[in-house]
Structure 1
Amino acid sequence: MTDCLRSMTGFGSGSCEAGNVRVKVELRSVNHRYLKVACHLPDSFSSLQGQIDSYLKEKIERGSLSVSIQLQETDEGADNCGFEQIKRNYDRLCALRDEMAPGQEVKISDAILLQGQNGLGYKVDEESDGLLMNALEDAVAEMRQMQQNEGERLLEEFNRILDCIDKGIGQLEEALPGAMKWLGERFQERIRQWVEPTGVDLVSQDLAREIGILAERSDITEELTRLRGHLIEYRKVILDGGRVGRRLDFLTQEMFREANTMASKLPRHDLAH
């Protein structure tokens, strides 16, 4: 599989036909932690269940897949084929009636019902198996293309958001020296307000030490560095593609943690938001 960012939501269909028979396959995929396949196929194709599952596991890594497989008659020869098959079904039912319940009525509706249960009365062989797998291959290709298209749109949106965050980091870095100076002056004034009523004489050295401690607690340089590192890793992950969900979830949580820490450290509304 080509490594790229893909959505897990997608739809694809494919059909193949030979003679008067058409096999149609539809795939629907939604988000799921693992690969989960629910396959709905005619009884005549039940022997291919394992082959279908193996093919899907080879082509698709994650998602909840719903697989619908239909066996249909084409317009060409459909009427004759269906009519002749119903007649054969009726004859078989009559023979079974004569052997097991002589005198009991056999209805045309019973022959028609048997027709539907037999999957159009079409005998499944290697050719029809090939039709099914070809249709499945087309459906998977169409669904994967849809997922890739959605992934490309997600990539654009991710990059737009990351650019906004990157811009915000730059603005914070630019404003940080002025903010730290403002904090120092604010801390100095607060300390004087606390000390003056007590009559305690605070020398400049002690005052500078206390201001330094308070300013260090409000410094967000380390958080900004880590946040920028998370942005770089985020871009790398979405560019590499593949199975990115858990890694992006972890990075997003870490970015929120750094942002919350910075907001709590900076007592300035304009910078915290």
Structure 2
Amino acid sequence: MTSSAIASMTGFARQQGESDHFSWVWEVKSVNGRGLELRHRLPQGFEGLEPELRRRVKEQLHRGNVNVSLTLRRLAPQSSVTVDEALLQRLAGLCDRLCQDYDVAPPRADGLLGLRGVLEIQEEAEDEEFRQEIEGLLLKDFEFALSALEQSRQDEGRRMGELLHTHLERISQGIEKAESLEAVRPEAMRERLSRLVQELLNASAGQLPEDRLAQEAALLVSKADVREELDRMKAHLSSAQDLLAEGGPVGRRLDFLCQEFNREANTLCSKSPDADLTAIGLDLKTAIDQLRELVQNME
């Protein structure tokens, strides 16, 4: 995988092959997962391929639940046929007596050979050299299937990348709209602070010192100041764009940034002193949720 490629964790590949004695089909499928996990279904007698399959998957993929299936069919059985001559002679003699005693037609040769125990088909043992040859061919085609799976994940990743940029742009526009609102500007906050202090003075009627009232009013206004949240969201936005430019397996780090985005958006909504700012905060949360849904399927 190239360092600039964004990859999905979802993909599928199929690879067929055959030799003089076998035909086979590899199917490799992956879906999203927290880490990298391999599940396999191999024919009886080929379980020894599993460690090599696992090693090759780990070399090429970083995250995802990967399911590997091998279907194997023998084309030219390695077998030999033997005839139990003694049993065949006894059966032939018995048939002769039956034909004489009961005046019935003599049996055909294929009928005698079809009786249980007359013919024995024995599978020839496969030597180590033959086994290694077959396993080598199987692993070669598995490598093709794994590369096709990786390409499938990268193709899906490119489509995801376009959507990711769209959602990040929506977040960027939301931040710009929030910063442009009158309610978040310093002069508007100073005006709000002055008005709040005056209201507190009028309400307290001299019961509390003016400096204490001013401190309490300033605290209330600072709690409604969302500029810090907007600044942090801009920093997260820049980090997300850098990660997308970096490429490779950045899904975990982007998922963490989505959590941080969501935390700031929640705080912005809870602190918002303005209905328009609250509406922008809710739109940001929607864009962040859509972003995270994509990110959770990235490698």
Which runs of no fewer than 5 residues in structure 1 stay unpaired? Answer: 99-103
Superposed displacement of residue 270, structure 1:
0.7
| Residue number among 151, 167, 178 corresponding to 1:172 in the alignment | 178
Distance of 2:17 and 2:61 partners within structure 1? 22
User: Of 190, 196, 220, which aligns to 2:202?
Assistant: 196
Aligned equivalents of 1:49 and 1:55: distance in 2?
A: 10
- Cα RMSD of the aligned pairs, angstroms, is 3.5
Distance in 2 separating the partners of 1:67 and 1:178: 55
Mapped partners of 1:207, 1:181: distance in 2: 20
Distance 2:20 2:205 in 1: 105
Task: Name the CA shift for 1:199/1:211 in 2 (closer, same or farther; >3 Å).
Answer: closer
1:55 aligned onto 2:61: no
1:115-172: CA deviations, max 9, x gaps? Answer: 8xx99xxx94343223201210111111111101111111111111110111111112
Q: Does 1:222 align with 2:223?
A: no
Q: Which moved more, 1:57-66 or 1:198-207?
A: 198-207
After TM superposition, give the deviation of residue 269 of structure 1 in Å: 1.5
Question: Which of residues 132, 138, 143 in structure 2 aligns to 1:132?
Answer: 138
The AA in structure 2 aligned to 1:128 is: I
Question: Retained in 1: the 8 A contact 2:184–2:225?
Answer: no
Residue in 2 that maps onto 1:71: 72
What is the rounded CA distance, in whole Å, between the counterparts of 1:106 and 1:148 in structure 2?
Answer: 58
Matched ranges for 1:7-156 at <5 A: 7-19=8-20, 21-73=22-74, 81=76, 85=79, 88=80, 91=81, 105-106=116-117, 124-156=130-162
Q: Identify if the C-alpha distance between structure 1 residues 236 and 197 changes in structure 2 by more than 3 Å, giving closer, same or farther.
A: closer
Aligned-partner Cα distance in 2 for 1:203–1:49: 78
Alpha-carbon displacement from aligned partner over 1:61-104 (angstroms, at most 9, x marks no partner): 2222211112235xxxx5xx46x85xx3xx46x76xx8xxxxx9
What is aligned with 1:101? none
* SS of corresponding position for 2:16: strand
The one-letter amino acid of 2:269's match is A
Distance (whole Å) between structure 2 residues aligned to residue 107 and residue 158 of structure 1: 71
AA matched with 1:2 = T
Alignment: residue pair count: 246
Pair 224,151 (structure 1): closer, same or farther in 2 beyond 3 Å: same
Contact 1:184 1:211 in 2 (8 A): no
SS at match of 1:134: helix
Q: Secondary structure at the match of 1:2?
A: coil
Give the % identical residues: 32
SS at 1:43's partner residue? coil
- Where does the alignment leave 5 or more consecutive residues of structure 2 unmatched? 88-114, 280-299
Which of these two proteins has the greater Rg computed from alpha carbons?
A: 2
Amino acid at match of 2:145: A
8 A contact 1:16–1:134 mirrored in 2: no
Q: Report if aligned partners of 1:23, 1:135 keep a CA contact under 8 Å in 2.
A: no
Taking structure 1 as the reference length, what is the TM-score of the superposition? 0.74
